[in-house]
Structure 1
Amino acid sequence: MKHKDTIKIMNWFVFTGLVCLGVTVGYDGLSSLDHTPMPHDEAYQSRFQLNWGVLQTVTISILLIFTVLLIVGWKRTFPFNVPFALIIAGSLYLYIFMTFTIGWIRLLGMIGFAIAIVAALILMILHTIILWRSKE
């Protein structure tokens, strides 16, 4: 594959940029919850609250299974391994917001997940085009 280095650079540039952006935005959103004064009747819509149940246990189990499968097949899934990792990272980002917060702040997790899905789909389409063109 003659475009292997180009694909690797593109993959890791997008992955590193989105992970750094996600960590920054997530930290900013969650730290703003920590500094918001709580009234006595807890009327604020967004706040920290642990929501652990069967759904969260099943979700984290599925995320761990997909992560292990990706690690095992990392080299075999090239050049689509990083887009798959982006989808798993976006799912984990959404999981953190859905499990540890309540209120409108969960929308931040959903937006982050949507951005990860769109970026992964764009990378997959670009990789398919590059692979298709290199065969001609």
Structure 2
Amino acid sequence: MVRMDILEHRDGVWEIVYGPSYTNPKPPTRRRIRVASDAEVQAVQPFAMPGWEHYSTWGFEEVHGRRDLGHMYAQLYLNTDDRDGKPRIWITPPRHTLTTIDQLAEAIATEIAPRMGITIPPELIRDYLVK
């Protein structure tokens, strides 16, 4: 036997949700994630968010060899995109001059929301950046 809930949405669509109760969930367990500091960010790092993880990268770009003048960037491709094509989302100066992982996570959350149809919290995006 598998526990399930049947949900009726406002538009009249019914949804069956298997597993632990959707309407009375247990509090989530806190998992330990190694949190990278802003100073540990390298030039090119993978972006591990499902659906975007095949070709997407992010990192810290120094300016004239100086970290104090540098900025965070992200080049995001959906997994179905052509890896040799332009990134679907390109977060770089001058539009985005970001210096912390939290700022980058906020920018990514804002940029991908229209493409995904949902808003993903910046805290979750940050988890995918530092995994």
- Whether TM exceeds 0.5 here: the answer is no
Shorter-chain TM-score category? under 0.3
Higher strand share: 2
Higher relative contact order (CA 8 A, sep 6+): 1
Query: TM-score, normalised on structure 2?
Result: 0.24
Higher helix share: 1
